[in-house]
Structure 1
């Protein structure tokens, strides 16, 4: 059951690029609409689960709110960068490259800073898995030099890859921050592990303040960075609320899995990125992003490498 919960983010997050493309609008409208959906989901979680199960003192713990709010700001940076990359690179290219960078950064951060890789064998197999994931993602995004590229009026490879770099750093901090603050003592072990060592109360309590941080972060980015304040309340923004609701399901499942000692941060983050399968093939078959037979071969091999690398990371304890 723990593994099944850990796989929910892959399905939910792998769908976000497809859903936001179908909903239409600019990268700014997609970002803001998604945060509004996340806000609805986050506050519903707070009101209908955290308060009844953990109590008001836990639900409104100031330190938990600080962690959640800052995590939400990091997420806004990650999401805005990813949506910009989708516009500039296309979903079938942007999704796998973004996924690989997130897997590598999150696994290394969890392993080195949170101490989840505890011996030489774990580091050997872990680094081997990361290499497989990165090579796989590169293969999925390779162009066919003999084919005519599908015209993309917003195409900007350099800008797209820079957006992914910024996005990956934002997502890394969003993933790791709640456990990192426990590691540094800002969040006590008693709060972090409640109830009964599962971490369920802490990780679900984060979601409400996190969603507020997401909305504020998105508004700042849309108005002052993207300079699209005049167009942010158009219909496309509200259509993208659906994107945020789907994302919210994956978000709460990911944090529950990260808090579960049977799964852990590195494994939860890695499994969540198996959404590369949904995003890549969804971009091709649902959004009709054209690929040649050579590219489909690259994509198939690359996807297998990403899946194999993810499986290795999720089973490091047994390999060691």
Structure 2
């Protein structure tokens, strides 16, 4: 049962990009729907579960965590438009793992000892190589799109890094900070839409994309229970399998084309990313 619970967040987060590709719409539609869906689940959890009360500083830090996630997610949605799901997901996963690992070491003293740090650096090198292999393209126009996508993903990945780092600053359970995080996702999405294109609030695709936010939030909730059941390291490692679901789904379901050579490099890159994430999860 523990392994089954651990696999569910990976499945949910892997399905999200495929749902986005199927529903379509503009980036503003997508981020607004994601925010609304996240808030719905957050409210249900808030009223259904008896969670411990948290202080206002913890609440605000959790709120900010969710809002920063929106920065990373808007970058990811923009990258989907530029180079597709199957190109974006391995690269953004690599950026997320590298950034959160480095912050963990520098800010929170993770990977203690020289041996652990050397192993960690080796894992990060695997992630970098893996992300590079998945980005290999047989034509020049494709390469320019990949470069453009990377230039979007790299700065916006800071949002994911802060989203992951802020909860480590507070002494509270994952379940107790879940609602303020989801509220932060909604408020961040709303601010983004109000400053870019207010008209999408009434558009059908914005509300259709609510299902993506619901999938995201339910997966995040299950991850909390998985961490309790399996331990944080094991739960985290299993979530990284979402990159396989999303990448293969982009090729098989969204019909994103790759040449046989590109496909081989993508599979090799995915293997390295998964291995690298496993190593960082168990250091």
Asked if these proteins are the same fold (TM beyond 0.5), I'd say: yes
- Return 5+ residue gaps in structure 1 as ranges: 150-154, 193-201
Residue 123 (structure 2) pairs with residue 123 (structure 1):
no
Contact (CA 8 Å) 1:42, 1:211: kept in 2 or not? yes
Q: Hey, what's the Cα distance between the residues in 1 that align with 2:180 and 2:193?
A: 20
Partner of 1:212: 183
Whether the 8 Å CA contact 2:6–2:230 is kept in 1: the answer is: no
3-state SS of the aligned residue for 2:12?
A: helix
Distance 1:164 1:158 in 2: 10
Report how many aligned residue pairs link the two structures.
282
**Counterparts of 1:121 and 1:262, CA distance in 2:** 22
Are the structure 2 counterparts of residues 15 and 310 from structure 1 closer, same or farther at C-alpha, using a change threshold of 3 Å?
Answer: same
CA contact (8 A) 1:103 1:269 kept: no
Equivalent residue, structure 2, for 1:275: 242
1:239 is aligned to 208
Q: Which runs of 4+ in 1 moved over 3 A?
A: 1-8, 155-159, 253-262, 267-271
TM-score, normalising length: structure 1: 0.81
Aligned to 2:268: 301
Distance 1:165 1:271, change over 3 A: farther
Residue 6 of structure 1, CA deviation: 4.3
Q: Secondary structure at the match of 2:174?
A: helix
Would the aligned equivalents of 2:135 and 2:146 in 1 still touch at CA under 8 Å? Answer: no
Equivalences for 1:52-201 in 2 at 5 Å?
52=50, 54=51, 58-59=52-53, 61-145=55-139, 157-179=146-168, 181-182=169-170, 187=171, 192=172
* Secondary structure of residue in 2 paired with 1:59: coil
Could you tell me how far apart the structure 1 residues matched to 2:14 and 2:239 are? Answer: 9
TM-score (norm 2): 0.90
Distance in 2, Cα, partners of 1:104 & 1:17: 21
Q: Does residue 284 in structure 1 map to residue 251 in structure 2?
A: yes
Please state which structure has a larger fraction of its residues in helix: 2
Change (3 A) 1:114 1:254: farther
Match in the other structure for 1:253: 222
Residues 161-185 of structure 1: per-residue CA shift (max 9 Å, x gap): 2321133110111111111x23xxx
Q: Assess, with a 3 A threshold, how the Cα gap between structure 1 residues 16 and 261 changes in structure 2: closer, same or farther.
A: closer
Q: 1:133 to 1:283 in 2, by over 3 A?
A: same
CA RMSD of aligned residues (A): 2.3
- Tell me the equivalent position of 1:21: 21
